[in-house]
Homo-oligomer: A and B are copies of this chain.
Amino acid sequence: MNSSERAAVLAEALPYIKAFAGKTVVVKYDGNAITSQELREALISDLVLLSLVGVHMVVVHGDEGEVDTIIDRLRGSHTSTADGSSEQAEAKGMVLAGKINKELTSLINAAGGKAVGISGLDGSLFLAEEINPALITDLIQSGYIPVVAALAQGQEKGSSQLLDANDTASRLAVTLKAAKLILLSNTVGICYNEADDQTLISELRLSVVGRLLRSRVIAGERAKMVDCCVQAIRRGVPRAHILDGRVSHSIIVEMLTDSGIGTMILQDYEGGE
């Protein structure tokens, strides 16, 4: 690529940078999609860069299978964790907050970002059904990237319980009045025909979503993700995206170039980006 092409890309990106400066973007990390070291580094680079130009990035992560693997490795045996005992839940919470969260935080810091790993137990962030965002807004104001483990205070004093990460990200986006909710996933986005990536729906209006869910064109895991997006849009988040976490730099491409990728969900009456 020559200098003039580079200049063109930059000229295209800069208005977006300006538009998002000072805005909050909530990203749901997906351990199932971001499986290679390379993908993870690209993602972390995107987070750090966007943070550097003034976008307030908030990362949410939950348990996508990694937790069981780690517990098994720790135990030295492949045991079923299906029993759902309170001890199991405790172990899972510990792995989420003590391992996955700290690792992600630590990698962002190593890449030059300023990340702080927290969970719903810190600063009374998630209390029962309510979100108390003061800790996150305080961290954002001080320039940190909060990395939030989807974990809430449990019923018993000092105990914890796991939350759904997509739902948590959606609710955080609403509470933080985010400009954007991005759910990373291991799909190209929402397709008319799940088996055919060519049928990707780039832009999905709220009024269409209901029909597609009722007719079960969107179903299963994808329906859950779409629902989280719908909740966010209905409660004031302008844009929600389902992006392919398996594509390198998908966040930066979506946010800073004219070519959107994945599926964007938005209100009926607003124009696309």
**Which one, B8, B9, B114, contacts A124 given CB within 8 A?**
B114
Compute how far the CA of A53 lies from the CA of B159 in the bound complex, rounded to whole angstroms: 28
Compute how far the CA of A118 lies from the CA of B147 in the bound complex, rounded to whole angstroms: 12
CB neighbours (8 Å) of A52 from chain B are 14-15, 17-18
CB neighbours (8 Å) of A87 from chain B are 73-74
Of the candidate stretches A102-110, A170-178, A207-215, the one touching chain B is A102-110
- A74 and chain B: residue at smallest CB distance: B91
| B252 A158 Cβ-Cβ under 8 A | no
With A96-B98, A99-B98 known as contacts, the answer to whether A3 contacts B253 (CB < 8 A) is yes
A257 CB–B CB distance under 8 Å: yes
**Which one, B4, B49, B95, contacts A248 given CB within 8 A?**
B4
Q: With A10-B13, A107-B158 given, can you name 9 additional A-B contacts, CB distance below 8 Å? A: A5-B9, A9-B10, A11-B252, A13-B13, A74-B87, A106-B153, A106-B157, A109-B122, A117-B119
Q: Give me the interface of A with B, judged by CB distance under 8 Å.
A: 1, 3-15, 17-18, 21, 45-46, 49, 52-54, 70-71, 73-76, 87, 90-91, 93-99, 101-103, 105-107, 109-110, 114-119, 121-124, 134-135, 138-139, 142, 144, 151, 153, 157-160, 248-249, 252-253, 256-257, 259, 261
CB neighbours (8 Å) of A97 from chain B are 97-99, 102
CB neighbours (8 Å) of A139 from chain B are 138
| A53 B17 Cβ-Cβ under 8 A | yes
**Which one, B4, B124, B256, contacts A249 given CB within 8 A?**
B4
| A7 B118 Cβ-Cβ under 8 A | no
- A152 and chain B: residue at smallest CB distance: B106
| B248 A7 Cβ-Cβ under 8 A | yes
**Nearest-Cβ distance from residue A21 to partner chain B, whole angstroms:** 8
Of all A-B residue pairs in the complex, the 9 with the closest CB atoms, nearest first, are A98-B98, A7-B249, A94-B98, A138-B142, A97-B98, A14-B49, A18-B52, A9-B9, A106-B121
